[in-house]
Amino acid sequence: MKTKIIRTAIIQFDIRLGDVESNLAVARKRIATLAKQGTRLILLPEMWSTGFANDRLKEFSETTPRVLKDLSGIAKKLHLTIIGSLPEKRKAGIYNTAYVVDKDGSVAGAYRKVHLFSPTGEDRYFKPGRKAVVSETSLGPIGLMICYDLRFPELCRTLALNGATLVAVMAQWPAERVTHWDTLLKARAIENQLFILGANRCGIDGNLAYAGHSRIISPYGEVMARAGKRHATISATMDLRVVERTRKHIPCLKERMPKAYG
């Protein structure tokens, strides 16, 4: 029997470019604090251990196994599920990969970012993932999305149809498009009638300012917890039974007409 009521949290911080030890220290400290508050699920931002240090991407991707091992130890010790995106080195190239580390320390799921943001040249440094992923965890099925994925409603709908009642979105979303971030998080939650956790970074990297604005959103589109534009930790308690009630009250997913959509 999966847990129905989950204390969730998002850690929003200014990722230091290429400084794995500093970023890991921030994560460790905040995770320990959240564990003491009864948190069971923690979401970190996109590429949280390294930032987009694209010129040294191969080098920094080699730190990911060590970072994952560290997270696994923390998760097992504190009985937490931790999710975050890291650079994954494979023979084919480097992927921007969201890892789900479950409370027993195992990697319960991994999702390679499908939609790479070409305006910043992300597609020149990373290989694209090829499939949607719903990770089966001790807390239930969790769908995974990374940043630019949020602009593609087909992906989130696929996660919902594949059983996700909660979708974790990791991002490095810029401040100049913060209204898009806020709106799209709500839209994905409402149209798929599920919980959305959106973890964004904050701070400045070169000439680019990041939005922050991490959010936890209910299937009704209610913002249950929100961050501003600075370092923050936000928390909310999710009752996953709300997903079932929402879908029963307004049966959008059941009343889809795929044949009419072309």
Q: Parallel, antiparallel, or unpaired for β 140-146 and 166-171?
A: parallel
Interatomic CA distance for residues 222 and 212, integer angstroms: 18
Does 21 participate in catalysis according to the annotation? no
Residue 171, CB half-sphere, CA atoms under 13 Å: how many? 32
Question: Is 147 one of the annotated active-site residues of the chain?
Answer: yes
Give residues with Cβ within 8 angstroms of 153, minimum separation 6: 187, 188, 191
Catalytic residue among 103, 113, 122, 202, which? 113
- Of 147, 156, 186, 202, the catalytic one is 147
Judge whether 113 counts as a catalytic residue. Answer: yes
**How far is residue 176's CA from residue 174's CA, in Å, rounded to a whole number?**
6
Tell me the CB-side half-sphere exposure of residue 132, using CA atoms within 13 A: 22
- Residue 174 bridge partners (DSSP): 210
Catalytic residues, which ones?
46, 113, 147
